[in-house]
Structure 1
Amino acid sequence: MRDLVAAAPGFEDLFDAHVFNEDGVLPHVFFWDVVQETVASFLGGDETDWRVTLRFLEEQLQLDVPEVTQVVTSSFLFNLPWPDQPGHGLVDHLGPAMGARFAAIRPSG
């Protein structure tokens, strides 16, 4: 998570708030907020660049670290907008590793 914040500094305040409120960061809870910020950025309303986030997460999935793969898959990809929700077009920009994982966990989009 610290590597994500380093790659996408727009998440720094969010990360710090989680540390303060939870006495640490719970990855699945933090990534719920990362999804919300990423979708907002995609829709044009947030400072965090969604492209940087997707690129970073794609690189992390390619490293194939089980703990990272689990968090990215279950807490980021699964929580992306559904076809009838604003921001669903973000899924069209997933890289090959994330796209494959997304298709496996949400075959109908």
Structure 2
Amino acid sequence: MERDVQLVRDLVAVAPGFKDLFEAHVFNEDGVLPHVFFWDVVQETVESFLGGDATDWQVTLRFLEEQLRLDVLEVGQVVTTSFLFNLPWPDQPGYGLVDHLGPALRARFAAIRPSG
């Protein structure tokens, strides 16, 4: 199994709130498309941060921080381009989530979105 697909499966294992989203994704996409799935992960994580969803944003950020530190190319690409880049912008609700990124996530975020 490719590392980016394993990333998705491991996220669902540690954050069961994503299980229904994952099952719908696999059904709709006829498999796992990590970059597509992570668009929904961003939406759910921001909603959780704002208090409107059961998915635990803290578990998600902690998991992604740990995964990014493993320095696996495919994982880093998904986390960077499909999670961090799609976080809310400074004028959007949920931007405060950025203040809770761990050191590895924060460094990547600053590299791809230096103005926030």
Partner of 1:86: 93
Q: CA-to-partner distance for each residue in 1:43-86, whole Å, 9 max, x for gaps?
A: 00000000000000000000000000000000000000000000
The offset of 1:25, in angstroms, is 1.3
Query: What is the CA-CA distance between 1:21 and the residue it aligns to?
Result: 0.7
Instruction: Say whether residues 1:104 and 2:111 are aligned partners.
Output: yes
The superposition leaves residues 7-59 of structure 1 with CA deviations (integer Å, 9 ceiling, x where unpaired) of 00000000000111111011111000000000000000000000000000000
How many angstroms apart in 1 are the aligned matches of 2:30 and 2:62?
29
Q: 2:75 aligns with which of 68, 77, 85?
A: 68
CA distance in 1, matches of 2:29, 2:93: 30
Aligned residue runs from structure 1 range 11-90, under 5 A = 11-90=18-97
User: Normalising by structure 2, what TM-score?
Assistant: 0.93
Query: In structure 1, what residue type is equivalent to 2:112?
Result: I
The share of aligned pairs that are identical, in percent, is: 87
Taking structure 1 as the reference length, the TM-score comes to: 0.99
Q: CA RMSD in A?
A: 0.3
Structure 2: gaps (5+ residues)? 1-7
Q: Would you say how many aligned residue pairs link Structure 1 and Structure 2?
A: 109
Structure 1 spans left out of the alignment, 5+ residues:
none
What is the SS of the residue equivalent to 2:61?
helix
